[in-house]
Structure 1
Amino acid sequence: MADPRLAALLDRDAIRAALVRLARGEDRRDAALIESAYWPDSTTDFGVFRGTFAEYLAWVVPGAEAITNTQHVLGQSHIELAGDTARVETQVISYHRVDYGGGDEHDTCMGGRYLDRFERRDGDWRIAARTMLYDWSQDWGAAVDWSGGLMGMPFSAPHFAGRAHGDWSERFFRGEA
């Protein structure tokens, strides 16, 4: 590409697109989306989990049954390009609904940063190594009971409450809704 500024812009866009695919894949526990963001020989270290990509994928899909819903909100990404590699720091806030059993569900939230080493291979940018840094975590207490709707108003259908497995967005993206 003749203009290096344009090439850098396209590289950064491809890296951000991989980060978004990965977040959606983790939230929906979609192995294909997760695989599209990681190199098969990559490593991951979340502090509570460390391993190869195959081990990570087996850990995150289908995910802990006790975590009934997740949402990863990505913030800014600081991207430093160096040829076919990039070092990327991405701010993240992640929400998890945790079922402690016996109807005791808690909403938890944490904030931190992904430190990713990306590699471009055959024109494709993917994560070669990820480390998670945690900045804060909070248990928000008992989770809301979605069966009653929102703010005292009942939902018109059961699909309005999100979930990790069987989320309505899956039908939406298949063109069925």
Structure 2
Amino acid sequence: MDATSEDLRALLDRDRIRQCIERLARGEDRRDGAMIKAAYWPDSVTDYGVFQGDFDAYYAWVIPGSDAITNTQHVLGQSYTELDGDSARVETHVVSYHRVDMGTEERDTVIGGRYLDLFEKRDGEWRIAGRTMLYDWYQDWGQSIDWSQGVMGMPFSQEWFSGRANGDRSVDFFKGSN
């Protein structure tokens, strides 16, 4: 393979890896089991500090997810990727927001950290073989606003404008139904 072909292969591999990370973030935010399964190898392991286990245990933990977490959003930053044949080491910065129902009130919390992912390419497909979460900071932003009031003093014209982990409008959007 010539240098240009190798560069193109590396570019495509990095793109497929990033797509996998994006697919997983969306799957976790929407609690979409198919997207999550498409991001991990079945024999993968994860360690989030507050949870450690194989894929089946991780899947049971994240799907359906805690009913107390009504909304999440994982904002992905840069990824640093080192390719090594059919494996890769990837560090991706993440800021994850969680709206948590505490029983008496909902609170907005946010975590900043980094995913350390071990990727493997099997049969031409890149997926996560192992993930460790590093926590850089955490902030409790306090009591959440009441979505029924809209934002900035202006009411929403439809209830579906506020995001949520389950029943989010974006699911229908990607199915082509508005």
Q: What TM bracket, shorter-length normalisation? A: over 0.9
For these two proteins, the number of residue pairs brought into alignment is 176
Distance between the aligned counterparts of 1:34 and 1:171, measured in 2?
18
Distance between the aligned counterparts of 1:166 and 1:42, measured in 2?
28
Distance between the aligned counterparts of 2:59 and 2:23, measured in 1?
14
Equivalent residue number for residue 137 of structure 1 = 138
Cα shift at 1:175: 1.1
Letter in 2 for 1:169: S
Distance between the aligned counterparts of 2:44 and 2:113, measured in 1?
21
Letter in 1 for 2:94: V
SS at match of 1:163: coil
What is the 5 A alignment of 1:15-26?
Answer: 15-26=17-28
SS at match of 2:34: helix
Query: Which of the residues 79, 87, 103 maps onto 1:77?
Result: 79
Distance between the aligned counterparts of 1:45 and 1:69, measured in 2?
22
Query: Which of the residues 49, 53, 56 maps onto 2:55?
Result: 53
Equivalent residue number for residue 94 of structure 1 = 96
Cα shift at 1:176: 1.2
Cα shift at 1:68: 0.4
Equivalent residue number for residue 38 of structure 1 = 40
SS at match of 1:117: strand
Q: Which runs of 5+ in 1 are unaligned?
A: none
Distance between the aligned counterparts of 1:79 and 1:172, measured in 2?
31
Cα shift at 1:43: 0.1
Distance between the aligned counterparts of 1:73 and 1:151, measured in 2?
23
Cα shift at 1:24: 0.1
- State the TM-score, normalized to the length of structure 1: 0.98
Please list the CA deviations of residues 35-78 of structure 1 after superposition, one character each: whole Å capped at 9, or x if unmatched: 11100000000000000001101100100011000000000000
Equivalent residue number for residue 16 of structure 2 = 14
Distance between the aligned counterparts of 2:167 and 2:59, measured in 1?
19
Letter in 1 for 2:101: D
SS at match of 1:57: helix
Following superposition, which runs of at least 4 residues in structure 1 exceed 6 angstroms of deviation?
none
Distance between the aligned counterparts of 1:150 and 1:105, measured in 2?
16
Letter in 2 for 1:69: N
Query: Which of the residues 67, 81, 92 maps onto 2:69?
Result: 67
Equivalent residue number for residue 165 of structure 1 = 166
Q: Which runs of 5+ in 2 are unaligned?
A: none
Percent identical residues: 68
Cα shift at 1:174: 1.1
Distance between the aligned counterparts of 2:169 and 2:88, measured in 1?
35
